[in-house]
Structure 1
């Protein structure tokens, strides 16, 4: 009886082993169909192990010596910082993480990869990180295209209110807002009268003209956005000096005063401007900055002056 049980046990083990071999064989056959590979990192020695798929993703040869410091150097700065942060948390908590990161291969080709990581250890101590890396560049490009389309004003071609709202919804001094120095708001005066007298097609021509002038005048802007029916916003980085901003605005206003030719008619466009500067220490709240610029715009429309605010 014991011999029969032993025989059945080994048969079951053999069947399980064959099944595992079949799964591994299936994985090996399917792996070349997508740019994906497995990796591991021994945390004691910092020694990396990559499958051929990971070498291909990074544009390296499997004959190349693997060095973690050199591999980390292929990540773009923001992705590298996120990776190190998530990695440290995973090691500390004996957990895992997922991260989409941007790398620059040795040939200069930029790629987006998705990293999935898990940990292995004993006695509450993490000893190894391991997981998968997949090239998601094509998916990322499609996603960026869809997002750009969703955040683009179809009439003027600049960003729409949804894109500007992403800026407003950021926390104070968030990473994406650290380099903001100036917010400028533009509003077309008596825009309704243009629509009423000349028709909405004429009003559309005025909006397109203003958007084109803003893009040409502020080529270094972080964002040019149509945030209302006849209102636009421009976000400038700290690399553009405030004196330069005022000169650009004076020149822009002068160009906007020139009549617009439309269907044989000359349309006169008048625009009010209000803007706010960030404090010298760079600390600000996006909503507060917007409120200050909006108040300056209100003053400009009512007093016909050129006001500024500084937070």
Structure 2
């Protein structure tokens, strides 16, 4: 049995002439008047019965007695229940109160741990029945119906809140989850099912959930989860999953640990599909760091890497190669920008292939490229690479039915201390020296020749 959510506050009868409107108190006075230990008023529901009011000690067998009394005659009188245990009712009276049209049956139960003689039991039942008038029962029913209406409205509001939550969750692509740490059982809202593309309502296990994570994300999530459980703290991270239908998605995962006496018992949180945001962020970052046409690093990323020489404090090594395409302007002027762009893409591919061991290959201008070599580069490797670039770029290629043959001028500068801007200036000086030498060649900056 369960108690109604709202206590009833209306007199069953004017017992002892009191003006107290507390219904439990009136039941207590009824028990005093009849000389019994307890009373309970219940109403039948679809799932059993619901307690409206109760006084006195609880009896272990009361629910069984009420279940017997409800479908029975007008009243059930049991003077002595010999089979009752030490905490059971030995005396019981169940009075079915008059029912209004369409109303649920009402049952007034009177009980006591001591048995009664048969004639005394019938007398108590008759007296109780006289005290409960039809008018009082009707008033009680009105109160019950009013409370039932309030409860129904409350349930309706709760359903509305749930619907609004589900709609908001679906719009935001958010779902709520929880895991009972005693057995690792999971509970998901619809949003989580939809995120993993698992049919709603399916019994899910932690093993099924983990199988959807990529290996790297699973390790990251397990580490964060274990730390949160060990320290009874929260965690949040972004992970990659592959749904049961094979789609790759990015998920924002939050978790909060619930504990008792410092021991984690439950973990719960939210899971949100952030795939679109992740792709947009990646795209934004790519545009900020890479040249869209060639796929090489752009000037911004090049400058950031070049500034790394400043952090070496003059004690590092490395080299910078600046590359200009010879003959590119004529291609643009003769064949248009579309074929000119194809020439830039081809040059980028050849540079990438030639500079596999470079720290960075970047497009820093229209037909200008830069190659950064790290400190592990041998002393003469930069000059050999420059010659290779000249030879590779100079090989003809076909695009749009036309054969193109570009050239490359390369300036090389070795880092021997100082600032990154000095290194760039030295490579630029060497580049112009290569151009002055007739183009399609390379030159290395030498301080004694500057």
User: Which interval holds the TM-score relative to the shorter structure?
Assistant: 0.5 to 0.7
Which residue is equivalent to 2:181?
43
Partner SS state of residue 270, structure 1: strand
Which residue is equivalent to 1:214?
351
Q: Is the CA contact 1:256–1:270 (under 8 Å) kept in the aligned structure 2?
A: no
Partner SS state of residue 88, structure 1: helix
Q: How does 1:175-190 map to 2 (within 5 A)?
A: 186-188=321-323
Distance 1:19 1:113 in 2: 31
Which of 74, 92, 96 is the aligned partner of 2:212? 74
Q: Is the CA contact 1:259–1:269 (under 8 Å) kept in the aligned structure 2?
A: no
Normalising by structure 1, what TM-score?
0.58
Q: Is the CA contact 1:97–1:116 (under 8 Å) kept in the aligned structure 2?
A: yes
Q: What are the Cα deviations for residues 142-163 of structure 1, in whole angstroms up to 9, with x where unaligned?
A: 2222222222236755222444
Distance 2:405 2:176 in 1: 65
Which residue is equivalent to 2:239?
101
Q: Is the CA contact 2:358–2:371 (under 8 Å) kept in the aligned structure 1?
A: no
1:80, CA displacement in angstroms?
1.6
Gaps of 5+ in 1: 5-9, 171-182, 237-246, 276-290, 306-311
1:74, CA displacement in angstroms?
1.5
Alpha carbons of 1:16 and 1:227: their partners in 2 closer, same or farther (altered >3 Å)?
A: farther
Are 1:270 and 2:270 an aligned pair? Answer: no
1:208, CA displacement in angstroms?
6.4
Q: What are the Cα deviations for residues 181-201 of structure 1, in whole angstroms up to 9, with x where unaligned?
A: xx9954227x9x999x99xx9
Which residue is equivalent to 1:133?
271
Higher relative contact order (CA 8 A, sep 6+): 1
Q: Is the CA contact 1:256–1:269 (under 8 Å) kept in the aligned structure 2?
A: yes
Which residue is equivalent to 1:176?
none
Partner SS state of residue 256, structure 2: strand
1:120, CA displacement in angstroms?
1.0
Q: Is the CA contact 1:186–1:273 (under 8 Å) kept in the aligned structure 2?
A: yes
Alpha carbons of 1:259 and 1:24: their partners in 2 closer, same or farther (altered >3 Å)?
A: closer
1:103, CA displacement in angstroms?
0.7
Distance 2:258 2:173 in 1: 25
Which residue is equivalent to 1:173?
none
Q: What are the Cα deviations for residues 7-58 of structure 1, in whole angstroms up to 9, with x where unaligned?
A: xxx9xx9899887665334213433334321111122212222222212211
Partner SS state of residue 212, structure 2: coil
Q: Is the CA contact 1:260–1:268 (under 8 Å) kept in the aligned structure 2?
A: no
Which residue is equivalent to 1:226?
363
Q: Is the CA contact 1:104–1:111 (under 8 Å) kept in the aligned structure 2?
A: yes
Partner SS state of residue 297, structure 2: coil
RMSD, aligned α-carbons:
5.3
1:223, CA displacement in angstroms?
6.6
Which residue is equivalent to 1:85?
223
Alpha carbons of 1:122 and 1:235: their partners in 2 closer, same or farther (altered >3 Å)?
A: farther
Distance 1:123 1:96 in 2: 17
After the TM superposition, which of the residue ranges 146-155 and 102-111 deviates more from structure 2? 146-155
Gaps of 5+ in 2: 1-18, 23-146, 309-317, 375-383, 399-403, 415-419, 434-441, 445-450
Alpha carbons of 1:69 and 1:260: their partners in 2 closer, same or farther (altered >3 Å)?
A: closer
Instruction: Tell me how many residue pairs correspond in the alignment.
Output: 259
Q: Is the CA contact 1:224–1:235 (under 8 Å) kept in the aligned structure 2?
A: no
